[in-house]
């Protein structure tokens, strides 16, 4: 067994042992941050060592260092792909889809009949493989980002609609009665009670939809795209067996996903600070 494999097992054991001790003995916020980070670093080291140690063909599984250098090398291309897929496709679809779902939820909230029909249908549609509509949208809107935006809109619309409608329905009865005793108008009740009350649900929907938007935009490009975009790059580089570039794109996607979700979680903390889920 060569040096790399010895190092591999050694680092695995030491890392595990260290993490075990730290987890058992301490519980501060610093430890809670350090342990998973340390785990991640150990994981990357083990990845590097196993590729070197078993002499894995870089065409099948590149080492982290190779991916890292490819990433730095190809930043311009990665940036173009990022703007094409995530900004033009995913973000626009997200804003359009979630925005319209939110507004429509408020409109149908007045009509119980519509609510009872749309809620089950919305739940149903949310479970469907909407991504499959990508080729249809390509046919209608062309190859460029517009068709990807359309896929994202359909993907995020129903989960957002269902969550907002739910949020607007589950309102404390005595808080509603209070508004009645003030003889408040529909709009006053909407803005002062129902919308603030619904915010936790709205943010839940926004978080779910953030991941859906990313997935929708990237996977929609698997079905056809102009010569740029993350989905396009991934499928074409996979075809050329340039897997280090594929991993670099995936890293960008992962980073974007985490940051986007994190941003929404931050906004959630800001606007729903009062909800029990936001308080330790």
Partner 1 sequence: MISVKDVDLIFETNDGPVHALKDVSLEVEEGDFVSFIGPSGCGKTTLLRAIAALEIPTKGHLTINGKSPDDARIDREYGYVFQAAGLYPWRTVEGNIKLPLEIMGYSQTEKKERIQKVIELVELKGFEKKFPWQLSGGMQQRASIARALAFDANILLMDEPFGALDEIVRDRLNSELLDLWMQTKKTICFVTHSIPEAVFLSTKIVVMSPRPGRITDVIKSTLPNKRELNIRDSQEFIKIAQRVREGLKSGHQDEVL
Partner 2 sequence: MKFFNLIYSLFFRSNFFPIVFILTVIGIFWYLIAIPMNTEKVERKFKNLNSTEKIIQSWNLEKPKLPTPHQIVKEIVNTVFFKKISSKRSLVYHGWITLEATLAGFFLGTVLGILLALGIVHNKAMDLSLMPWVIASQTVPILAIAPMIIVVMNSVGVTGLLPKAIISMYLSFFPVVVGMVKGLRSPDQIQIDQMRTWSASSNQLLWKLRFPSSVPYLFASLKVGIAASLVGAIVGELPSGAIAGLGARMLAGTYYGQTIMIWSALFAAAFLAAFLVITINFIQNYTLKKMAILT
The site for partner 2 (CB under 8 A) is made up of 16, 19-20, 22-24, 31-32, 35-36, 38-40, 59-61, 113-121, 124, 127-129, 131-133, 135-136, 138-140, 210-211, 214-215, 218-219, 222-224, 230-231, 234-235, 238-239, 241, 243, 246-247, 249-250, 253-254, 257-258, 260-262
Which is closer to partner 1, CB of 58 or CB of 196? 196
Q: How far is the CB of 127 from partner 2 (least distance, A)?
A: 4
Contact partner, 192, from partner 2, partner 1, none, Cβ < 5-8 Å per class: partner 1
172: which residues sit within 8 A by CB, 6+ positions away?
Answer: 197
Cβ distance to partner 1 smaller for residue 104 or 184: 184
Choose the one of partner 2, partner 1, none that binds residue 227, judging by a C-beta under 5 to 8 angstroms depending on kind: none
Residue 55's binding partner among partner 2, partner 1, none (Cβ under 5 to 8 angstroms by kind) is none
Q: Which residues make Cβ contacts (< 8 Å) with residue 253, sequence separation at least 6?
A: 86, 214, 218, 230
* DSSP assignment letter at 273: T
Say which entry of partner 1, partner 2, none residue 275 contacts (CB below 5 to 8 A, set by partner kind).
partner 1
The C-alpha atoms of residue 156 and residue 208 are separated, in whole angstroms, by 8
Contact 39/15 with Cβ under 8 angstroms?
yes
Residue with tokens 């996979």: 238
Cβ of 58: how many Cβ atoms within 10 Å?
A: 15
228 DSSP 8-state letter: -
In the chain, the largest separation of any two C-alpha atoms, in whole Å, equals 81
Give least dist CB 28 to partner 2, A. Answer: 11
For the CB of residue 156, give the shortest distance to partner 1 in the complex, in Å. Answer: 26
**Least gap, CB of 197 to partner 1 (angstroms):** 8
Choose the one of partner 1, partner 2, none that binds residue 184, judging by a C-beta under 5 to 8 angstroms depending on kind. Answer: partner 1
SS3 59: coil
CB nearer to partner 2: pick between 170 and 238:
238
Beta-carbon neighbour count of residue 23 at 10 Å?
12
Q: Which does 175 bind (CB under 5 to 8 A by kind): partner 2, partner 1, none?
A: partner 1
Q: Which is nearer to partner 2, 67 or 179 (CB)?
A: 67
Select 9 or 16, whichever has its Cβ closest to partner 2.
16
Quote the CA–CA distance of 181 and 188 in Å, as a whole number.
13
Structure tokens at 274: 């009062």
Residues that bind partner 1 (CB under 8 A): 172, 174-175, 177-184, 188, 192-193, 196, 272-275, 279
Give min distance, CB of 179 to partner 2, in A: 25
Measured between alpha carbons, how far apart are the two ends of the chain, in Å?
49
C-beta separation of 219 from 231 below 8 A: yes
User: How near is the Cβ of 174 to partner 2 at its closest, in Å?
Assistant: 25
Q: Which residues contact 98 (CB under 8 A, 6 or more apart)?
A: 156, 157, 160, 205, 206, 209
């Amino acid at each position: 067994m060569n040096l790399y494999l010895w190092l591999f097992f050694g680092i695995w054991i030491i890392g595990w042992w260290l993490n075990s001790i730290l987890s058992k003995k301490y519980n501060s916020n610093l430890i809670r941050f350090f342990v998973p980070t340390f785990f991640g670093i150990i994981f990357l080291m083990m990845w590097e060592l196993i590729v070197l140690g078993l002499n894995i063909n870089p065409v099948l599984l590149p080492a982290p260092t190779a991916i890292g250098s490819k990433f730095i090398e190809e930043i311009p291309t990665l940036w173009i792909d990022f703007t094409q897929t995530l900004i033009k496709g995913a973000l626009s679809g997200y804003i359009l889809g979630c925005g319209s779902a939110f507004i429509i939820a408020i409109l149908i909230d007045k009509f119980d009949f519509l609510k009872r029909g749309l809620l089950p249908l919305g739940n149903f549609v949310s479970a469907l493989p909407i991504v499959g509509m990508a080729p249809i949208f390509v046919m209608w809107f062309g190859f460029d980002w517009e068709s990807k935006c359309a896929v994202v809109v359909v993907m995020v619309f129903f989960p957002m609609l269902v969550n907002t409608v739910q949020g607007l329905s589950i309102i404390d009865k005595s808080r509603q009665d209070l508004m009645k005793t003030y003889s408040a108008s529909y709009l006053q009740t909407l803005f002062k009670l129902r919308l603030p009350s619904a915010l936790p649900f709205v943010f839940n929907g926004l978080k779910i939809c953030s991941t859906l938007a990313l997935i929708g935009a990237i996977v929609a490009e698997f079905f056809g795209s102009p010569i740029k975009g993350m989905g396009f790059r991934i499928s074409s580089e996979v075809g050329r067996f340039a897997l280090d570039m594929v991993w670099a794109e995936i890293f960008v996607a992962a980073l974007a996903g985490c940051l986007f979700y994190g941003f929404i979680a931050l906004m959630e903390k800001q606007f729903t600070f009062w909800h029990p889920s936001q308080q330790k």
